Amino acid sequence: MWNVTTMRLPLFRIGKLTRFDPFILLPAFALVLLGGLWLAVWHQLNEERQLARHATLAKSQALAHTFAETSLRILQQVDHAALLFKIRYEESGGKLTIDNFLRKNGAYNPELPTDTALRLMLIDASGRQIESNLPFDSASVADMPWFRELANRPDNGVVISKPFDPLKLDADEGDKTSKPWLIRLSRRLVLADGKFAGVLLVELDPGQFVDHFDSSDLGAQGVVLLTSPVENLSLRRIGEEMQASNTLVFSEQPGAQDRDDRSASLIKQHSSTSDSMNANIEQRYLQTPFDNVRRLYSARSLAEFGLVGLVGLTEDQALVQYQRHKIRYRLVAAVITLLILGFIAILMRQSQHLQLALRQIRTSEARLHTIADTIPAMVAYIDAEQRHRFHNAAYGRSLGPNSEQVLGKTVREVVGEARYQFFLPYILRVLSGEALVYEQESETDGVYRCLESHYIPQFDIDSGEVVGFHVMRQDITSKKLEQLRLQQLAQVDALTGLCNRAGFQLRLQDAMQRSRNQHGLLALLYLDIDHFKPVNDTHGHKVGDSLLQAFAQRLSRVFRSSDTVARLGGDEFTVIMENLHSREDAINLAAKVVLAMQPEFELLAAGGAIEVGVTVRVSSSVGLAFYQGEEQSAEQLIHEADMMLYQAKRGGRNRYVVSEA
């Protein structure tokens, strides 16, 4: 078998290619290739820039979410402390003091960070400040709106006042102060009779929210902001520096210093939401006037407290990795450009040598293709990816009118999924380096056909790996039919037409294998003709042969078409019965055999009577054994049935004996 891997290659049409000057075609190809390369580099850099921005967006969003959750948790715990004081105060009938509440082992068991400073102030029903854990102004708060609201409201809920600046900064002072503003919560106190007893006022420095937030992920120029849009108050931290302000220092324009609604839209839109932790998040690059650094801000609203938390990451921080990749990609692209230019120069020198070599290959291909087409056998070559790369005319005729379209297609695509599963084991074996031969039988519209296929692996000359395989297939239907005919003749008893001993042995082994696989019940009958020898001795061998034929016919009529009736030799017969529902089915058939053989036999010779008026009366003895997947050989099963036949003979003949095994 020759190597047909060179018979059909995906070649350029040399006649058309030579119309173009390679010194024009190759440089043009190089320009297109380099243009695509640099376009890909530009596209990749643009994608990485966008990815870097999106990654920073996600990070700032997560940090803003964490900052808002941390701040909200502290505020909720502060409110919890105020509620706990209210409960203990009312339980004590108004006798609980702030000192007793805050002392060690007192009623207050704070869950706040240890360095969180709270100012608690107790105010009586007239608005007079009577106690505080910090120095306080003794002036009355009876005219304060929040006090009047608590004194007149019917329920005992918390009142959250707007954040306020205790120093009352005015516009002239601007951002000169670093003193923080405060957040105020108040709880209504009542006595046992339900009368208004006063107010517990809690003041909290919001700078503690910013201070407790872990800023390690912000970088050196990252900003964390807590703002009160309604009161125009803000608190920010850049690095370790904390700054408080009575303005919303935020602008969408570089260097802008105004405080109009458009400049602070990112903050104000979050101050109006009613859901403090599920507000929509907007992120954008804004340039803040306090240091003119472009940052990406994400905001989270704490609406019930009138606050908005923001986290800003610098644009430079977001694009650090992008800048490194930008230099690296451009350097790699420049090196590839030089390599491509050098490679094109080499190709231009070798182009004429290549054209000559291609012409020689095509001439050799045409010669080998002509030789292959004259071979009556079907010849093909399939590569390691299971794709058809070559086939001769005979193989093409077997594929139909579109045989040329098969080239380049996989075996699965050509033959379909069902037939591919049949071929796959053989394909895997030949691709592993094994040469093999197998037969494929089929029957279409009653027409039998058999193909013999030879698979020969093709090894790579250098590596020794299998790169494909050759297929040579020929029709051996006539030869196979003759073999089957001879095989069937070898398994048929010439006198009775039943299965002979050789055929019986094969079918019994197959039946026992099916019984083991399916755990089905199998029965074996072993029988002979009682008093056969006297008939043979009295009337001669021709009458004996006619009796054997008549006995076989009568025996076959008792059993199903799926049962195997065989003559082992002489007057010995066997029957294989498969797929029985119960032992009784086989026992009933054994009884029918005994009854069927009792009537007289009128024997005829071929073409007429052997002896006029010859009538023979015989009987049959039957031995019956069963099998249902046990560890037993065919010889052992036959022996067991034979022993049952022997017992039937000893018991007086004309009967059956069943094995109890």
Q: What are phi and psi of 183, to 5 degrees?
A: -115, 135
Say whether 113 sits in a helix, a strand or coil: coil
Tokens 């850099």 belong to which residue?
Answer: 45
- Find the radius of gyration of the CA atoms of the chain: 51
571 given a catalytic annotation: yes
Task: Provide the 10 A C-beta neighbour count for residue 511.
Answer: 22
Q: What is the C-alpha to C-alpha distance for residues 380 and 456, in angstroms, rounded to an integer? A: 11
For the range 27-34, what are the long-range contacts, defined as Cβ-Cβ under 8 Å and sequence gap of 24 or more? Answer: 27/344, 29/344, 30/340, 30/341, 30/344, 33/340, 34/337, 34/340
Say whether 581 sits in a helix, a strand or coil: coil
Helices assigned H by DSSP within 183-236: 207-212
Q: What share of the chain is helix, strand, coil (3-state, %, to 5)?
A: 45, 25, 35
Q: Which of 193, 571, 585, 642 is catalytic?
A: 571
Residue count of the chain: 661
Q: What is the 3-state secondary structure (H, E, C) of 613-634?
A: CCEECCEEEEEEEEECCCCCCH
End-to-end CA distance of the chain: 59
Residue 531 exposed, middle or buried by CB count within 10 Å (0-12, 13-18, 19+): middle
Helices (H) then strands (E): counts for the chain: 17, 25
What's the Cα-to-Cα distance from 151 to each of 20, 85, 128, 199, 333, rounded to whole Å?
A: 99, 18, 13, 8, 76
Q: What is the C-alpha to C-alpha distance for residues 597 and 161, in angstroms, rounded to an integer? A: 116
Residues with catalytic roles: 571
